[in-house]
Chains A and B, each alone.
Chain A
């Protein structure tokens, strides 16, 4: 069965600092991987996705993620965070383009001024 682990429940970084959110997945074949962001009172917004090809994917808002098959990881990065990046971030996996998405439990990002 597919599963996603986000080991950090909370992460706090200073504004302008770099960010890396960790994600590990469990799936036997090549997964379809996603990062979503959820701000208070807002719906989930897709930041980026990996289906195939280049393992470094660029997303919106300056985010990127790297798929590492050997480590079963899909970590999210941003070189310099802004206060508006404070939100909950969810890593997710699906078995194909049409399948349901399995989400991790999320990492809440706090930004220090």
Chain B
């Protein structure tokens, strides 16, 4: 059990570019969550998966954002046409019976 991993850890991009982040959950955790954390704030829920099914999406998840979890294993979060307001830490968590375990996050900076 190596914990939740996220790649890349840091990403700098120019406004208008597309970016994709990957999350590898703890094996056999069937629930996977994405959160976004901006400076001075707590994490905010974006979306979550039960296996490969995306069960809930926050209103924060505009149509420029898309998340997938093919085969119910790793997950990707793509942001199209990035904006400066997308700059944040993107956190992934996976869950066993009761506890969400968080990854180290991907810090995105949009210039």
Interface residues of A (CB under 8 A from B): 4, 36, 41-46, 49, 51, 90, 92, 97-98, 100-106
Nearest chain B CB to A104 CB, angstrom units: 5
Nearest chain B CB to A98 CB, angstrom units: 7
Q: A100-B56, A102-B45, A105-B42 are in contact. Are A44 and B98 (CB under 8 A)?
A: no
Interface residues of B in 1-57 (CB under 8 A from A): 4, 31, 33, 40-45, 48, 56
Interface residues of B (CB under 8 A from A): 4, 31, 33, 40-45, 48, 56, 58, 91, 93, 95, 97-105
A-B CB contacts (within 8 Å), total count: 48
Beta-carbon contact of A101 and B100 below 8 Å: yes
Measured between alpha carbons, how far is A51 from B99 in the docked complex, in Å?
11
Nearest chain A CB to B106 CB, angstrom units: 11
B31: chain A residues at CB < 8 Å are 98
Beta-carbon contact of A43 and B45 below 8 Å: no
Nearest chain B CB to A77 CB, angstrom units: 20
Beta-carbon contact of B33 and A43 below 8 Å: no
Measured between alpha carbons, how far is A106 from B56 in the docked complex, in Å?
25
| Cross-chain contact of B97 among A44, A46, A97, A106 (Cβ < 8 A) | A97
Measured between alpha carbons, how far is A106 from B40 in the docked complex, in Å?
8
Beta-carbon contact of B91 and A44 below 8 Å: yes
CB-based closest 3 A-B pairs: A103-B42, A44-B102, A100-B45
Beta-carbon contact of B56 and A92 below 8 Å: no
B56: chain A residues at CB < 8 Å are 100
Measured between alpha carbons, how far is A43 from B31 in the docked complex, in Å?
18
Beta-carbon contact of A90 and B45 below 8 Å: no
Q: Which of A44, A46, A92, A101 has the most CB of B within 10 A?
A: A44
Beta-carbon contact of A105 and B40 below 8 Å: yes
